[in-house]
Structure 1
Amino acid sequence: MSDKLVVWWYQRRLAFPLWFLTPLSALFTMLAAVRRMLFVLRLKKSWQAPVPVIVVGNVTVGGTGKTPTVLALIEHLQRLGMRPGIVSRGYGGAGTFPALVGATSTPDLCGDEPIMLARLSGVPVAVAPKRIEAAKLLLASKDIDVIIADDGLQHYALGRDIEIGIVDGGRGFGNNWRLPAGPLRESARRLKKVDWVLTNGPLAAEHSLPKGIEAQEMNLQTIGWRQVGDSSEIEVPDGETALVIAGIGNPQRFFAMVREQGITISETRVYADHYDFKATDFYHVSNEYPVLMTEKDAIKVRAFARPHWYYLKVAMALPETFLQQFTERVQGVAAMKKASAQAPVSTRSQLPNEAPNL
């Protein structure tokens, strides 16, 4: 996915170069609708876990803030006394799936985001393109009582009890076209079916949510800079310019955060989301030259990081109203599933089958 394509996607109108992709968008829309309808009509069944399953996802391609949102939810669930685990697709990984993320896991085996989630959350993380397999592996090998799916809003085979849709407040839904002519995986109206819609930052004036959708605002907060090599806290680079790199879904958001801290940027380099950094990418960068990056990128350059390479640690602040509602819902689902598991077989057979929250 080129940076130019993303720029075109997030213009208000369909850019001329994308006109030629509209037939493919129509085909994508049709296939996605058929696939979803198979689950709605129960012609294909979704697997229901014995513990609450929470899906955190979006209807657009690219970064909206899902990963920091997942981390914030994990912390909240732990404060409630619950034992969460995370499932992820493991995008970019080529390892044997399903797999648990461990101390020896590398981005080329299981993807960059699962490693970051495991290191920062401290909870079990399982990866597999088929998220059902990852969820079953977690339940079989780890002591967990709630599962969070990082992304997977469109992965209907995994039954879910709670859905949270994330929207980038600054970019919205772009040109409102489906892939590949636009950034939408599904229609923005899909968000009417989720339990909560959270916007990453305030929704820009030029964007709007479909009628009938209410959203709550969350905000990404900066915690401080860390050295890539040892993660120790440092002061903001002062009095010198820096090279800023980003291999994430929304690099401009990160560049803006760096500028907001008063750091002078001499050069920015944009790489594809999930880019596999190599030492050769930095051969022409001076050893004394500060290089700033995101935490996700830091994971992939740690093996060859130099002393003046830093990453920005951030955390998502979730709205209090949402947290109160979320707590009641997840505790209620957990109690219901526990009671169902303890009920006699004859009683359980009379309970209605749960369908995914489509």
Structure 2
Amino acid sequence: MSRRRLPQAPAWWYDGSPPPLHARLLSTLYGGLTALRRGAYRRGWLHKQRVAVPVVVVGNITAGGTGKTPLVIALVARLRAAGWTPGIASRGHGREHEATPRWVDADAAASLVGDEPLLIARATAAKVRVDRDRVAAARALVAAGCDIVVCDDGLQHYRLARDIEIEVQDARRRYGNGRLLPAGPLREPLERAADCGFRVLNLGVAGEGVAARPPGLGEWPMRLQVGAVQPLHGGRPQPLAMFAGQRVHAVAGIGDPERFFAMLRDAGIAVVPHAFPDHHAYAAPDFDFGSRLPVLMTAKDAVKCAGLVDAQAFMVPVEAVLPEPFWLALLDRLPARSR
């Protein structure tokens, strides 16, 4: 069977080895273009567009996944509990026909709306709009009755003015070698992180077998709490511990698949890992593993796979948990709600 190879981040991003000359040269060019663009917005040569409600952007300055989606889901729940009516704007990376804006319903096809927006829509039941133009997405959400907009990703989408920026950082990888793309993982210079009102450090699941530096000054810790394992084809949810001592196929098409595999191993599960590219478009042959073991996958993958894999497939959901002072500080930064 032909299998796609998983694109890996270059080793020099994280292992301390020097980047090759071509990567350093391209990084210099990329840095210059990034600085010009940021400067154009700072000087008013390019104009930011403000919408009629507050905007909160959850993003990162590194390439790859850092745990933004669980934080967005938790943020929507806290805003709703505080009396807001949040809507979510997202680009919907990896979807077909990306130039076409779409509303994301719980029964939408992930191929048309994107895996992360669909996961958010199902988890929150909030209005979700995917659009390459986040200003247009935000305006559509306001017109639909939302009184606050949460952007899933979009720190670099400067055209949309925002009230709060939340940077999410992976505690294991941090900023890698601290260099800009492609010599390093940074989308923007390190000083960009200092502009964000909140910096959240994703520590993963408690006990996860990966090294993680503790939060530093000005960083808020976020842990991921594993929920009940959900059968993809219906049935009673079960604790992850029911798989302890078993051998399973573990599927992850996320920014850092090893984090998912490590979480399962720390739960006493014997993992046969299957890593796929982030936002992978799954097909039935991807699950021809050669042995009929239970299949465990992330929630982001599960929204795309229910019709492709047999009844022994399960979704392993996680929930973002942050200190109460974080939520109080964030809500305090928002303007008073209009009644």
Contact (CA 8 Å) 1:172, 1:208: kept in 2 or not? Answer: no
2:179 to 162, 177, 180: 177
Change (3 A) 1:89 1:231: farther
1:234 aligns to 2:238 (yes or no): yes
Structure 2 counterpart of 1:114: 117
Contact (CA 8 Å) 2:172, 2:213: kept in 1 or not? Answer: no
Structure 2 counterpart of 1:166: 168
Structure 1 counterpart of 2:49: 47
SS in 2 for 1:201: strand
Aligned partners of 2:7 and 2:281: how far apart in 1? 16
Structure 1 counterpart of 2:287: 282
Which aligned pairs between 1:11-90 and structure 2 lie closer than 5 A?
11-15=15-19, 18-90=20-92
1:329 to 321, 329, 333: 333
SS in 2 for 1:139: helix
Matching residue's letter, 2:68 = K
Contact (CA 8 Å) 1:172, 1:207: kept in 2 or not? Answer: no
Change (3 A) 1:85 1:62: same
1:225 aligns to 2:225 (yes or no): no
2:320 to 316, 321, 324: 316
Matching residue's letter, 1:281 = D
Aligned partners of 2:159 and 2:235: how far apart in 1? 38
1:151 aligns to 2:157 (yes or no): no
Residue 284 of structure 1, CA deviation: 3.9
Matching residue's letter, 2:154 = G
Deviations 1:40-93 (A, max 9, x none): 001111110111100001100111110000011111001101100000011011
1:272 to 277, 287, 302: 277
Contact (CA 8 Å) 2:94, 2:279: kept in 1 or not? Answer: yes
Residue 188 of structure 1, CA deviation: 1.8
Which aligned pairs between 1:96-107 and structure 2 lie closer than 5 A?
97-107=100-110
Residue 194 of structure 1, CA deviation: 0.8
1:125 to 128, 131, 139: 128
Equivalent pairs counted in the alignment come to 327
Aligned partners of 2:182 and 2:190: how far apart in 1? 16
SS in 2 for 1:173: coil
TM-score (norm 2): 0.90
Structure 2 counterpart of 1:350: none
Aligned partners of 2:235 and 2:149: how far apart in 1? 28
Unaligned runs of 5+ in 2: 205-209
Residue 12 of structure 1, CA deviation: 3.2
Report the identity percentage: 38
Contact (CA 8 Å) 1:89, 1:130: kept in 2 or not? Answer: yes
Aligned partners of 1:231 and 1:117: how far apart in 2? 22
Residue 105 of structure 1, CA deviation: 2.1
Q: Which has the higher helix share?
A: 1
Residue 229 of structure 1, CA deviation: 2.2
Deviations 1:259-278 (A, max 9, x none): 1111111x211111111110
Structure 2 counterpart of 1:263: 269
Aligned partners of 1:14 and 1:105: how far apart in 2? 45
Structure 2 counterpart of 1:351: none
SS in 1 for 2:46: coil
Aligned partners of 2:274 and 2:283: how far apart in 1? 14
| Consecutive aligned runs of 4 or more in structure 1 exceeding 6 Å deviation | 205-209
Structure 2 counterpart of 1:10: 14
Cα-Cα RMSD = 2.2
Structure 2 counterpart of 1:138: 141
SS in 1 for 2:306: helix
Change (3 A) 1:205 1:283: closer
Residue 182 of structure 1, CA deviation: 1.3
Contact (CA 8 Å) 2:233, 2:306: kept in 1 or not? Answer: yes
Which aligned pairs between 1:333-348 and structure 2 lie closer than 5 A?
333-335=335-337, 338=338
Aligned partners of 1:250 and 1:315: how far apart in 2? 17
Question: Is 87-96 or 242-251 further displaced after alignment?
Answer: 87-96
